[in-house]
């Protein structure tokens, strides 16, 4: 009999849900191989606390599916040794046979929609990028159907560029800013789809065009997923991601599960209020953290001190923020103070999160990390000053170097959850078998 892990297993046993126990055990074995490969059966047993019989049954199934293979020196991606061949290896009684994941057992597509561009990445099961495509498209001017058409064309081109076919794609994950119900596949509101008067079933629109399952998710949640699978969130059940860029986003893992809120639209950290008489936010209310710390807020304050060219769209805002960052870094005292204040407000907000959630880590990420060196001292000081004494210093604050690849990995992780049959996404409606 298996020894299911922690509360998942107990909960499942009490409800008699053997399917769930099986899914949980399978996930733990596969995740252990992914993280610690090459790895022996004995070590898998030690790390997962599963019985030899259970580990053996799961490994046999994974070998048959081609998801893992015996490491006998062959490079990843070669034909999988399973079935009778695999049994022959076992029968020879080799003392230590190592297992590896076959990264090319499945391919997925990750896409990120932002106001002025669409980024598409094709990855394998390990989220290694195989091809990337960036399309300069002003999405916010277009209707949902046209965006879906352009995304379809881009995805087909990126898949061809990766040297594979659409038939080999197990799923597509798309990240976009806004209020996204990932389970239902609906965008309730997004600045990308602002031209649409009603909620948009974007996952279905894209899935129908491609003939492949598509999943959509809030972009900050994608970063949280990427950190959970590949970054600082590995092995940490409670952590927070704060993304700083055009807006301020947040992704939250609680008890190993991505927290979305009762209506699927929670964790709007950027719109938590710091000062009710504060500046006007894009949401129409006053004094949100975002209205002090996002790119547009930095520019608003910088314009009071230095002359800057007019900014009309996201690329020109980006260019102006980069210039302001450069001047501050070169020693402009007034502009340094702008970043100090933005960092202080951000740190105050994070101290509140630390006090409410008691996370193991807070990871600060996003394009705003171009100015991480300017923000970091005041963020850290404000977190230290605002955290309850009992929590002070216990939560690790990480400033994560930023690359667009994080989005792609996150979007890929969205699909990988389905492929790995991750038990913590029990509600997700992705049912894809490898
Ligand atoms: Zn707001």
pLDDT at residue 358, as a whole number: 94
Q: CATH number, domain at 259?
A: 3.30.420.40
Residues 335 and 416 in one domain: no
CA of 268 to the centre of ligand 1 (A): 9
pLDDT at residue 324, as a whole number: 96
pLDDT at residue 421, as a whole number: 58
CB 89 within 8 A of CB 97: yes
Residues 393 and 336 in one domain: yes
Residues 164 and 44 in one domain: no
CA of 352 to the centre of ligand 1 (A): 17
User: To the nearest 10°, the Cα dihedral for 369, 373, 374, 379?
Assistant: 80
Q: Where are the beta strands (DSSP E) in 1-137?
A: 39-40, 68-71, 98-101, 107-113, 118-124, 129-135
Q: How confident is the model at residue 147 (pLDDT cuts 50, 70, 90)?
A: very high
What span, in angstroms and rounded, lies between the C-alpha atoms of 21 and 1?
A: 11
CB 139 within 8 A of CB 118: yes
Residue 147: inside a domain: yes
Residue 10: inside a domain: yes
Residue 390: inside a domain: yes
CA of 417 to the centre of ligand 1 (A): 31
Instruction: For 383-413, write each residue's pLDDT tens digit.
Output: 999 998 877 778 999 998 766 677 777 877 7
Q: CATH number, domain at 97?
A: 1.10.10.10
Q: How confident is the model at residue 426 (pLDDT cuts 50, 70, 90)?
A: very low
CA of 237 to the centre of ligand 1 (A): 28
Final residue of a structural domain among 47, 77, 104 = 104
CA of 300 to the centre of ligand 1 (A): 15
Residue 431: inside a domain: no
* Those residues with Cβ within 8 angstroms of residue 57's Cβ, 6 or more apart along the chain or in another chain: none
Residues 249 and 375 in one domain: yes
Residue 1: inside a domain: no
Residues 363 and 391 in one domain: yes
User: To the nearest 10°, the Cα dihedral for 44, 47, 49, 50?
Assistant: -20
Lowest mean pLDDT among 11-25, 318-332, 357-371: 11-25
Is a pLDDT exceeding 90 seen at residue 338? yes
CB 169 within 8 A of CB 110: no
Higher pLDDT, 85 or 289: 289
Higher pLDDT, 180 or 286: 286
Write down the pTM of the prediction.
0.75
- Per DSSP, the three-state class of 41 is helix
Secondary structure (DSSP) of 119-177: EEEEEETT--EEEEEEE---GGGS-HHHHHHHHHHHHHHHHHHTT--GGGEEEEEEEES
| pLDDT-above-70 percentage for the chain | 85
Instruction: For 221-262, write each residue's pLDDT tens digit.
Output: 888 988 888 888 888 989 999 998 888 999 999 988 888 888
What span, in angstroms and rounded, lies between the C-alpha atoms of 222 and 216?
A: 9
Residues 186 and 304 in one domain: no
Residues 354 and 419 in one domain: no
Instruction: For 130-139, write each residue's pLDDT tens digit.
Output: 999 999 888 8
Residues 322 and 420 in one domain: no
Residues 45 and 57 in one domain: yes
CA of 289 to the centre of ligand 1 (A): 7
Interstrand relation of 107-113 and 169-176 (parallel, antiparallel or unpaired): parallel
CB-count exposure of residue 18 (10 Å: 0-12, 13-18, 19+): exposed
Interval 279-299 mean pLDDT: 92
CA of 277 to the centre of ligand 1 (A): 13
Its domain, for residue 30, covers 6-104
Residue 356: inside a domain: yes
pLDDT at residue 422, as a whole number: 56
What span, in angstroms and rounded, lies between the C-alpha atoms of 214 and 202?
A: 9
Residues 193 and 262 in one domain: no
Domains in the chain, number: 3
Residue 432: inside a domain: no
CA of 342 to the centre of ligand 1 (A): 15
Is a pLDDT exceeding 50 seen at residue 76? no
Distances (CA, A) of 376 to 278, 336, 368, 380: 23, 12, 11, 6
CA of 114 to the centre of ligand 1 (A): 19
Interval 18-26 mean pLDDT: 75
pLDDT at residue 81, as a whole number: 45
Residue whose token pair is 């001292």: 377
Final residue of a structural domain among 104, 122, 150 = 104
Higher pLDDT, 246 or 52: 52
Higher pLDDT, 14 or 325: 325
CA of 29 to the centre of ligand 1 (A): 43
Final residue of a structural domain among 58, 74, 104 = 104
- Per DSSP, the three-state class of 397 is strand
Residues 370 and 417 in one domain: no
Residue 320: inside a domain: yes
Residues 127 and 190 in one domain: yes
């Amino acid at each position: 009999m298996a020894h299911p892990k922690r509360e998942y297993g107990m909960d499942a046993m009490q409800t008699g849900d053997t399917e769930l126990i099986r899914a949980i055990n399978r996930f733990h074995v596969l995740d252990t191989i992914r993280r610690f490969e090459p790895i022996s059966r004995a070590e898998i047993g030690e790390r997962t606390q599963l019985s030899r019989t259970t580990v053996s049954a799961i490994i046999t199934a994974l070998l048959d599916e081609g998801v893992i293979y015996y490491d006998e020196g062959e490079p990843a991606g070669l034909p999988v040794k399973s079935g009778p061949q695999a049994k022959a290896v076992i029968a020879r009684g080799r003392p230590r046979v190592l297992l590896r994941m076959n990264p090319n057992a499945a391919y997925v597509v990750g896409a990120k929609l932002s106001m002025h561009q669409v980024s598409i990445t094709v990855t394998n099961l390990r989220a290694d990028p195989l091809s990337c495509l960036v399309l300069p498209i002003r999405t916010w001017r277009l209707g949902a159907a046209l965006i879906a058409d352009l995304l379809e064309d881009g995805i087909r081109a990126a898949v061809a560029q990766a040297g594979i076919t659409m038939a080999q794609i197990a799923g597509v994950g798309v990240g976009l800013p806004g209020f996204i119900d990932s389970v239902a596949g609906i965008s309730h509101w997004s600045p990308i789809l602002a031209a649409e008067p009603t909620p948009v079933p974007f996952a279905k629109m894209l899935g129908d065009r491609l003939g492949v399952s598509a999943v959509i998710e809030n972009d900050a949640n994608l970063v949280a997923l990427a950190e959970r699978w590949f970054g600082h969130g590995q092995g940490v059940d409670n952590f927070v991601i704060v993304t700083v860029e055009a807006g301020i986003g947040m992704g939250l893992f609680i008890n190993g599960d991505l927290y979305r809120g009762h209506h699927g639209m929670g964790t709007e950290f950027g719109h938590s209020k710091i000062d009710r008489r504060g500046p006007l936010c894009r949401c129409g209310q006053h004094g949100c953290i975002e209205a002090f710390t996002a790119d547009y807020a930095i520019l608003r304050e910088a314009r009071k001190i230095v002359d800057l060219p007019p900014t009309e769209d996201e690329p020109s805002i980006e260019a102006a923020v980069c210039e302001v960052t450069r001047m501050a870094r070169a020693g402009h005292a007034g502009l340094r103070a702008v970043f100090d204040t933005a960092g202080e407000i951000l740190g105050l907000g994070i101290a509140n999160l630390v006090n409410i959630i008691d996370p193991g880590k807070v990871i600060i990420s996003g394009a705003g990390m171009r100015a991480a060196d300017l923000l970091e001292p005041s963020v850290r000081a404000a977190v230290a000053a605002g955290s309850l004494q009992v929590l002070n210093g216990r939560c690790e604050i990480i400033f994560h170097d930023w690359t667009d690849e994080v989005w792609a990995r996150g979007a890929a992780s969205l699909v990988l959850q389905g492929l790995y049959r991750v038990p913590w996404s029990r509600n997700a409606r992705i049912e894809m078998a490898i």
